[in-house]
């Protein structure tokens, strides 16, 4: 009787093993083919000035599943919200079985303020879009603003809303003229002072700063290596430049 039971048990185990093997082949083989045929070997990143290609890839490829082209594409195309500082959005293009193209859209930032040891970056509408402990070299630090309200992802409330239009005009011309602006300061009369390296330029209060910044670019080229304060507040082609006196 025990031998019959053993043979019966052996037969059952054999049938289970065969079924398990069939299931394994039925499921495992397509999975293996899927993994092998869609290995992600090429990611091309364009559009961003804030990050290099390796930095973007390192932030996105963070699991073994992300090394599969289809899974990676579907994850970020339809399911995953991407949150990377200074990145507005990304678009993904499936090129072939092994390649994906990524287009990165940077947030448009025009300035930052220093608040309690952190730098708060705002866009053309005055909305605070990022907060970091480090300073971006190509974004001017804006001084002289008086804040009524500071909340991330909300508009920065200052003493005069029109100041954001002034800052936008300044930063657009700074970018156009390729001027390195360290700080933009407003005094109580809303006159502008721009600091570029060792040059301190008094620009005054104007409706637009297009013409004066074009002139400042030429002056900065001529005055390179000097520590100067340049008074450009008058409507003239002649400006007074005084040496900066060291406080040391």
Q: What is the pLDDT of residues 136-168, one digit of tens each?
A: 888 899 998 887 778 888 888 877 778 888 888
- Predicted confidence at residue 3, as pLDDT, reads 52
- Predicted confidence at residue 14, as pLDDT, reads 61
248 within some domain? no
**Are 120 and 198 in a shared domain?**
yes
**Are 225 and 127 in a shared domain?**
yes
pLDDT band at 29; cut points 50, 70, 90: very low
Q: How far apart, in whole angstroms, are the C-alpha atoms of residue 47 and residue 157?
A: 31
**Are 173 and 222 in a shared domain?**
yes
pLDDT of 8 > 70? The answer is: no
137 within some domain? yes
Q: How far apart, in whole angstroms, are the C-alpha atoms of residue 124 and residue 128?
A: 10
Share of the chain above pLDDT 90, in %: 13
- Predicted confidence at residue 34, as pLDDT, reads 47
- Predicted confidence at residue 160, as pLDDT, reads 79
Both tokens assigned to 46: 């364009």
| Number of domains making up the chain | 3
User: Residue 152 gets which letter from DSSP?
Assistant: T
User: What is the DSSP track for 11-73?
Assistant: HHHHHHHHHHHHHHHHHHHHHHHHHHHTB--EEEEES-SSS-HHHHHHHH--SSGGGBHHHHH
- Predicted confidence at residue 244, as pLDDT, reads 66
pLDDT digits (tens, 9 = 90+) for 59-116: 988 888 788 888 888 888 888 888 888 888 999 998 888 888 999 999 888 888 888 8
What is residue 112's three-state secondary structure? strand
**Are 27 and 92 in a shared domain?**
no
- 213: Cβ–Cβ under 8 A, 6 or more apart, which residues? 170, 173, 174, 177, 179, 203
Q: Which range, 33-47, 143-157, 174-188, is most confident? A: 174-188
pTM of this prediction?
0.70
Q: How far is CA 143 from CA 34, 72, 184, 246, in A?
A: 57, 44, 6, 22
The more confident residue out of 128 and 4 is 128
- 158: Cβ–Cβ under 8 A, 6 or more apart, which residues? 126, 145, 146, 147, 148, 164
- Give rounded-to-5 percent helix, strand, coil for the chain: 35, 30, 35
Q: How far apart, in whole angstroms, are the C-alpha atoms of residue 172 and residue 150?
A: 24
pLDDT digits (tens, 9 = 90+) for 117-132: 889 998 888 888 888 8
pLDDT of 56 > 80? The answer is: yes
pLDDT digits (tens, 9 = 90+) for 189-239: 889 999 988 889 998 898 888 989 988 888 888 877 778 888 888 777 777
Are the C-beta atoms of 239 and 232 separated by less than 8 Å? Answer: yes
**Are 22 and 123 in a shared domain?**
no
**Are 209 and 97 in a shared domain?**
no
pLDDT of 32 > 70? The answer is: no
Q: How far apart, in whole angstroms, are the C-alpha atoms of residue 72 and residue 199?
A: 49
Q: How far apart, in whole angstroms, are the C-alpha atoms of residue 61 and residue 73?
A: 11
**Are 154 and 59 in a shared domain?**
no
For residue 77, the enclosing domain spans 42-106
């Amino acid at each position: 009787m025990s031998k019959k039971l053993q043979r019966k048990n052996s037969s059952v185990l054999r049938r289970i093993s065969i079924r398990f093997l069939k299931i394994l082949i039925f499921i495992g083989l397509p999975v293996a083919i899927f993994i092998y045929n869609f290995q992600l070997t090429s990611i091309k990143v364009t559009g961003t000035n804030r990050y290099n290609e390796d930095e973007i890839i390192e932030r996105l490829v963070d699991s073994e599943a992300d090394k599969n082209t289809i899974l990676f594409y579907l994850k970020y195309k339809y399911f995953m919200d991407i949150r990377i500082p200074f990145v507005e959005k990304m678009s993904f293009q499936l090129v072939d079985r092994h390649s994906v193209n990524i287009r990165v859209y940077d947030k448009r930032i025009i300035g930052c303020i220093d608040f309690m040891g952190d730098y708060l970056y705002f866009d053309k509408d005055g909305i605070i879009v990022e907060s970091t402990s480090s300073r971006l070299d190509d974004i001017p630090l804006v001084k002289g603003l008086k804040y009524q309200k500071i909340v991330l992802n909300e508009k920065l409330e200052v003493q005069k809303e029109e100041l954001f239009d002034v800052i936008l005009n300044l930063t657009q011309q700074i970018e156009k003229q390729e001027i390195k602006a360290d700080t933009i300061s407003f005094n109580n009369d809303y006159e502008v002072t721009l600091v570029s390296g060792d040059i301190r330029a008094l620009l005054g209060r104007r409706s637009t700063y297009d013409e004066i910044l074009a002139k400042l670019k030429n002056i900065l080229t001529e005055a390179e290596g000097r520590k100067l304060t340049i008074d450009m507040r008058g409507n003239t082609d002649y400006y007074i430049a005084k040496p900066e006196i060291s406080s040391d």
